[in-house]
């Protein structure tokens, strides 16, 4: 018995049609071989090398990995023994892919499938997957992994060269069913006599070119393949992980900030305002103290407006140095529209003694007049509350929105990637 390090030499046959040499690399395991010169299909088990058929020269496809090329895939050395071009027909259009038969005398047969720059390393299965369902899709479970059904189609053999452990025929047809759990896949080939299962794993062209020491560059991958791994999976996990870490840090900072903020009410009083009245509505409040560090001041107004509006000019004035902070607030309430309350924030107000100068304003609605014979609108009762060092939450909400944008974008990209994948399936909408 040869040792694994020994590289057996292929057996050479002579094509009975053209006399060209036909190398058998699978050492007695080939049932048929196709002459690379005249494309005659030879019965490799027949002592007389019976010709079983012939592929037409017009359908010749040159393999990108030549027959006889050896390379190491997943730690094992394989030799390319056969090549076939297959296709399916959908609405009158043919979609071709290529399959390479790989052989290792100690591991047996493996396959490489290629479609539009996408490669899958395939090995035959001895066990049969457990059938099931996943939503509206069929499913199959094998090796602790559940695979979703992707598509079913009639696969037709268009061209073959090299040798194979089955009887190759021109125009061979099988029902091919593909299941995916990227980067893994299951494939079943169904004939009238048997069902053959194989397990696949996506492999990059660059990895194959390096494994077989091929010159040049592999063909670029086009589109999204049915078992192509999403490039966004690991990125999504990392971005969401980072989001939750930063969110936890933000919550922690918010809790600490809340604990150290005074949120102290320093002034509160009720007032009345008669819209359209002849008396002056402007006034100043009693003086109140703003203590502690430089911080914000909230002026909150609560009214009993009903189908009315009013405007309030506020000026916060330092009673000691005359420094003033101005702001104007418009309030209205008609039916269920508008609001009877209002809140305004003045940032970075130093400590000291302050008072408010308040000037309510009102004008009649368009089309109405206020005169001696026209009753005035009802009085507006309102309360002014002044709070010192109030927690402000809206920056945190903005920060959360900014934080969540990257993981949301990555999730959208992943969703679009999956949509492209399934757009080629039997479940495309």
For residue range 122-163, list pLDDT tens digits in order. Answer: 999 989 999 999 989 999 999 999 999 999 999 999 998 988
Task: Give the helix ranges, DSSP H, for 217-263.
Answer: 233-260
For residue range 55-106, list pLDDT tens digits in order. Answer: 877 778 899 999 999 999 999 999 999 999 999 988 888 999 999 999 999 9
Question: Does residue 48 come out as left (phi exceeding 0), alpha (psi in the -120 to 50 range) or beta?
Answer: alpha
Q: Is 267:288 a contact under the CB 8 Å cutoff?
A: yes
Query: How far apart are the C-alpha atoms of 316 and 51, rounded to whole Å?
Result: 104
> Helix (H, G, I), strand (E, B), or coil: what is residue 278?
coil
Residue 230 — φ and ψ, nearest 5°? -70, 130
pTM of the model: 0.73
- For the chain, which ranges sit under pLDDT 50? 1-5
Provide the Cα torsion 37, 39, 45, 48; round to 10°: -70
Q: What is the pLDDT of residue 6?
A: 52
Residue 374 — φ and ψ, nearest 5°? -105, 125
Tokens of 382: 């309102």
Query: How far apart are the C-alpha atoms of 103 and 114, rounded to whole Å?
Result: 17
Tokens of 309: 């509006």
Q: Where are the beta strands (DSSP E) in 125-164?
A: 130-134, 137-142, 145-164
Helix axes 233-260, 394-422, angle to 10 degrees: 170
Q: What is the pLDDT of residue 255?
A: 85
Q: What is the pLDDT of residue 3?
A: 45
Paired strand residues for 327: 314
Q: What is the pLDDT of residue 265?
A: 94
Tokens of 72: 């190491």
DSSP 340: S
| Residues across the chain | 429
Tokens of 66: 């030549």
Q: What is the pLDDT of residue 112?
A: 97
Q: Is 187:178 a contact under the CB 8 Å cutoff?
A: yes
Residue 216 — φ and ψ, nearest 5°? 75, -160
């Amino acid at each position: 018995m040869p040792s694994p390090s020994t590289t057996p030499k292929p057996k050479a046959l002579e094509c009975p049609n053209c006399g060209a040499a036909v190398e058998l690399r699978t050492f007695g395991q080939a049932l048929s071989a196709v002459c690379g010169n005249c494309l005659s299909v030879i019965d490799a088990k027949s002592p007389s090398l019976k010709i079983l058929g012939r592929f037409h020269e017009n359908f010749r496809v040159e393999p990108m990995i030549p027959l006889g090329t050896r390379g190491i895939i997943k730690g094992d050395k394989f030799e390319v023994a056969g090549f076939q071009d297959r296709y399916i027909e959908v609405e009158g259009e043919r979609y071709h892919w290529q399959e390479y038969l790989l052989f290792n005398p100690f591991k047996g047969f493996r396959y490489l499938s290629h479609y539009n720059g996408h490669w899958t390393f395939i090995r035959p299965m001895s066990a049969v997957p457990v059938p099931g369902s996943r939503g509206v899709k069929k499913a199959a479970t094998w090796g602790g992994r559940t695979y979703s059904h992707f598509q079913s189609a009639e696969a037709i053999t268009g061209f073959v060269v090299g040798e194979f452990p089955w009887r190759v025929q021109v125009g061979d047809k099988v029902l091919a069913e593909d299941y995916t759990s990227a980067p893994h896949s299951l494939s079943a080939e169904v004939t009238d006599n048997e069902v053959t299962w194989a397990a696949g794993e996506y492999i990059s062209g660059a990895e194959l070119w390096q494994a077989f020491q091929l010159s040049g560059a592999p063909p670029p991958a086009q589109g999204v393949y049915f078992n192509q791994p999403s490039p966004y999976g690991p990125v999504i996990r990392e971005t969401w992980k980072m989001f939750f870490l930063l969110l936890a840090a933000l919550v922690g900072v918010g809790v600490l900030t809340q604990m150290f903020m005074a949120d102290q009410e320093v002034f509160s009083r009720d007032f009345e305002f008669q819209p359209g009245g002849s008396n002056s509505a402007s006034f100043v409040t009693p003086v109140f103290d703003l203590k502690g560090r430089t911080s914000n001041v909230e002026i909150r107004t609560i009214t009993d407006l009903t189908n009315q509006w009013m405007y309030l000019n506020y000026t916060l004035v330092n009673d000691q140095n005359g420094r003033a902070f101005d702001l104007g607030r418009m309030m209205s309430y008609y039916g269920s529209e508008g609001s009877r309350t209002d809140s305004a924030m003045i940032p970075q107000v130093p400590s000291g003694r302050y008072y408010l100068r308040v000037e309510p304003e009102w004008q009649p609605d368009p089309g109405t007049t206020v005169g001696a014979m026209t009753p005035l609108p009802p009085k507006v009762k309102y309360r002014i509350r002044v709070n010192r060092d109030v927690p402000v939450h809206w920056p945190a909400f903005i920060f959360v929105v900014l934080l969540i944008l990257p993981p949301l974008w990555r999730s959208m990209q992943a969703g679009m990637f999956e949509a492209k994948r399934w757009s080629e399936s039997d479940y495309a909408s």
